Chains A and B, each alone.
Chain A
Amino acid sequence: MVDFDPELIGRVFEVTDPAEVTAEDIAKYCAAIGDANPLYVDEAAAKKGPNGGIVAPPSYAVTFRNGRHFFTHVPRYGRQGFDAGKDVEFVAPIRPGDKIKLSSHVKEIYEKTGRTGSMVFVVVRSTVDNQKGEVVAHIDHRFMNRT
């Protein structure tokens, strides 16, 4: 079995500085992913919509790590590894003016075997919240380490 300190699980090891969201940032993101939904980019249309104003597309929650912040304290095993994907639970909309931060902890460490040999997976859960302390998303980042 993979050897690790059980106290590692659940302990927050990183909290990012708040990053302010602007309508311009959201519009740039929408342009990059080709999403022209007026609820994300058109103030007048968004006001009449279910959120009462512009909100970010749900996947915007993921941008607070990639390109802005990379984990420096993720436990590593073996000789090499890579980002093995992420699961995102969208909880509440992100709006212009929100100040978003991520608190990250190791959720799970497990070993498995496959066609290519043994692997250790480290799952880091980031809780994404805004300036009011409201959780807007949970992101599980899965890192694979080749042992």
Chain B
Amino acid sequence: MATILDLHSHSEASEDSRAPLDAYLNWIKLRHKERPVDGIVLTEHRQFNAEADYRALEDKFGLMVLKASEVETDYGHVLVFGVTDEMTRRFDFANVRLSAQEVIDEVARMGGVAVPCHPGRPTVGLCEHYEKRPPLENVIAVEVLNGGSRKGEDERSQELVRKYGYRAIGGSDSHLVSLIALCATRFDADIRSIEDLVREIRLGRCEPVDFRPKRKPVAPAVPVEVAQDG
């Protein structure tokens, strides 16, 4: 059975989000036809809450809630899936200058997977750094669909994937309730845990899915003749 998850979201635990988790889940339930996800992954900025337990909310809404983190590195922002105590001891998640190469290698060694996110975004995306420095080694996947992308950013990410052969995931990067699950990732497998998710990303058995409403093209302006008096 396939599973669709929004792999990138921020609740009010992130300092720049005002979205309560229960409001996210309620919004998904209300809009499940347009955004048919089975759950979300919370990727709070520069932190990981090992104690947080969302089982009651999962049961209430019938949706899965998994935990990960978004850390900041010398090559931009990186999603870390499968966070362990060993990782949080090894890295200070609050440090905005982590070495991306170390994060990718060490997270993999410790059983997780590190995925550079919004690579097409200026300053905090991989593309801009690849223009100045050598590409990172051992990158398995990058986030090619990001719900917060501006015009051209996802296209840059897709070009990066074509050039380097990376696997691709998607996530909403939602900081507001109404933006949850606009982008997500479809897995062929039945995902029940963060371990399942890490395994499937590593195997590349996933693809990004886009639930953003397509904008209707704007009709060209039609000149209007104005009657001239006299």
Contacts and interface: CB of A to CB of B under 8 A. Distances in A.
A143 interface: no
Nearest to B150: A115
A61 B95 CA distance: 35
A58 to B, nearest CB: 17
A66 interface: no
A115 B97 contact: no
A111 B124 CA distance: 14
A121 B123 contact: no
Interface residues of A, number: 11
B45 A1 contact: no
Interface in B81-102: 92, 94-97
Given A112-B72, A113-B123, A118 B96 contact: yes
A115 B96 CA distance: 14
A110 B124 contact: no
B86 to A, nearest CB: 22
Given A110-B15, A121-B15, A116 B123 contact: yes
Contacts of A112: 45-46, 72, 96
Interface in B25-53: 45-46
Given A110-B15, A121-B15, A115 B94 contact: no
Interface in A83-127: 110-118, 121
Contacts of B94: 1, 110
Contacts of A113: 72, 76-77, 96, 123-124
B92, B121, B124: residue with the most chain A Cβ atoms closer than 10 Å: B124
B122 interface: yes
A121 B16 CA distance: 11
Contacts of B123: 113-117
Contacts of A110: 15, 46, 94
B96 A111 contact: yes
Nearest to B121: A115
A111 B94 CA distance: 8
B143 to A, nearest CB: 15
A108 B96 CA distance: 16
Q: Which of the listed residues A111, A116, A117, A121 has the most CB atoms from chain B within 10 Å of its own CB? A: A111
A117 B76 CA distance: 10
A1 B121 contact: no
A117 B46 CA distance: 16
Contacts of B96: 1, 111-113, 118
Contacts of A115: 121-124
Nearest to A140: B15
B23 to A, nearest CB: 16
B201 to A, nearest CB: 24
Contacts of A111: 96
Given A1-B94, A113-B96, A114-B124, 11 more contacts: A1-B92, A1-B96, A110-B46, A111-B96, A112-B45, A113-B77, A114-B123, A115-B123, A116-B123, A117-B123, A121-B15
Interface of A: 1, 110-118, 121
26 contacts: A1-B92, A1-B94, A1-B96, A1-B97, A110-B46, A110-B94, A111-B96, A112-B45, A112-B46, A112-B72, A112-B96, A113-B72, A113-B77, A113-B96, A113-B123, A113-B124, A114-B123, A114-B124, A115-B121, A115-B123, A115-B124, A116-B122, A116-B123, A117-B123, A118-B96, A121-B15
